[in-house]
């Protein structure tokens, strides 16, 4: 018999390289948890705040210094956590965020030798930590082909994404994040994500 899942205020993050499937799987996970009768809030980064909107413009502009990007991502996240994520958790909801701090740690530190992992952690220190971080791992040659949007952002280059992928894998091992192979059929990847989440909701 299937075990009934309990409503618990847990904060789940799906993260990984561009086109890894974080948006697809965040939505599918929300649908699955809701079908179990659970209250779920789905959110994403960059957010739709004014800072998030500015970030989306800057992501197309190679003239913006990586340090500026890092500070704006941190500001967007700080606001995101305090104005949305924390409130939803306090109401007892499960929160799923499509990308979070790990994206900043990895993308910003790979973008510039001036930026250390520790500095990115420091500027993000007031944003609450997720309970579960799931990294969707895939070769960038495959993930970029999946993307129909040809208006690529500045991070979406093969050599850069190879470094990004390596750092995601290394940090997942260091931090004990769940690392899932996203180069499988969507249903199978989602099943593996649900297994991790359901384990926490029993």
Nearest approach, Cβ of residue 101 and ligand ATP (Å): 16
Interaction between residue 23 and Mg ion (CB under 5 A): yes
Specify the residue, 28 or 115, whose C-beta has the smaller distance to ligand ATP. Answer: 28
Specify the residue, 23 or 192, whose C-beta has the smaller distance to Mg ion. Answer: 23
Q: How far is it, in rounded angstroms, from Cα 55 to Cα 1?
A: 47
Of the ranges 13-21, 32-40, 48-56, 69-77, which one interacts with ligand ATP (CB under 6 A)? 13-21
3-state secondary structure 102-162: HHHHHHHHHHCCCCCHHHHHHHCCCCCCCCEEEEEECCHHHHHHHCCCCCCCCCCCHHHHH
Tell me which of 19, 46, 52, 130 binds ligand ATP, using CB under 6 A: 19
- DSSP-derived 3-state class of residue 2: coil
Interaction between residue 32 and ligand ATP (CB under 6 A): no
Tell me which of 12, 13, 21, 73 binds ligand ATP, using CB under 6 A: 21
Strand partners, 44: 98
* 189 phi, psi to nearest 5 deg: -60, -45
Binding site for ligand ATP (CB under 6 A): 18-24, 146-147, 182, 184-186, 189
């Amino acid at each position: 018999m299937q075990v009934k899942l309990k409503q618990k205020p847990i904060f789940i993050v799906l993260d990984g390289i561009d086109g890894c499937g974080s948006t697809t799987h965040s939505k599918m996970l929300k649908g699955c948890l809701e079908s179990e009768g659970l209250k779920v809030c789905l959110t994403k980064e960059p957010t739709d705040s004014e800072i998030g909107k500015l970030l989306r413009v800057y992501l197309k502009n190679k003239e913006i210094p990586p340090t500026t990007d890092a500070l704006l991502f941190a500001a967007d996240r700080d606001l995101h956590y305090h104005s949305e994520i924390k409130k939803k958790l306090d109401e007892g909801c499960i929160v799923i965020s499509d990308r979070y701090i790990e994206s900043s740690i990895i993308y910003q530190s790979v973008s510039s030798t001036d930026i250390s992992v520790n500095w990115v952690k420091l500027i993000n220190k007031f944003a609450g930590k997720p309970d579960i971080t799931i990294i969707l791992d895939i070769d960038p040659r495959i993930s970029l082909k999946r993307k129909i949007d040809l208006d690529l952002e500045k991070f979406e280059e093969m050599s850069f994404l190879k470094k990004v992928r390596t750092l995601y894998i290394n940090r997942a091992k260091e931090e004990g994040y769940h690392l899932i192979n996203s180069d499988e059929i969507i249903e199978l990847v989602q099943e593996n994500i649900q297994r991790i989440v359901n384990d926490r909701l029993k």
